[in-house]
Amino acid sequence: MMRVIVNGVPRQEPLPVVVNFAASGSLSAANMAGNVIGNVGQTGDVAVTLAPAFQGAHFTVALGVAVAKYFRLIPATGDTIALDGSTTGANKYVGIASVTKYAEIRFCAVQTGAATWEWSAVTVLGTFAQEAA
């Protein structure tokens, strides 16, 4: 448990879970609630398909294993990922072409309409790029 303060009120919350992808797969909505996505065991290219963006969704991708393979995050059909404030459109992945140890990127769902959400991703460390338009 970790102590956090929300609206001036201290409370205890569980520590984030680490979800490792050694191979391609899908990230569930449950794992988009502040968890950490890693790549322990990765030896080949990895493509992780995200659940649709939704209110409150956020997670960090922190890659701890260097491997000369890509690690990509693919939005759900129709979703958009804006990388560092720019997007190439719906259905375009964000990724790192050759994983470096400690590469990190953070994702947060941003409300873009009355009931619509998109992904905003901010590079912390590493050379992440968007799929070309």
Whether the CB-CB separation of 82 and 106 falls below 8 Å is answered with no
Task: Please indicate whether residue 114 or residue 17 has the higher confidence score (pLDDT).
Answer: 114
Enter the tokens of residue 85. 């404030």
pLDDT for 88: 87
- In terms of phi and psi (left: phi > 0; alpha: psi -120 to 50; beta: otherwise), the region of 97 is alpha
> Quick one: DSSP state of residue 41?
T
Return the percentage of the chain with pLDDT > 90, whole number: 82
pLDDT for 10: 78
Q: Are strands 117-125 and 104-111 parallel, antiparallel or unpaired?
A: antiparallel
Predicted TM-score (pTM) of the model is: 0.89
pLDDT-derived band of residue 20, with 50, 70 and 90 as boundaries?
A: very high
Enter the tokens of residue 89. 């459109």
pLDDT digits (tens, 9 = 90+) for 73-130: 999 999 999 999 999 899 999 999 999 999 999 999 999 999 999 999 999 999 999 9
Residue in 117, 114, 109 with CA at minimum distance from that of residue 56: 109
pLDDT for 81: 96
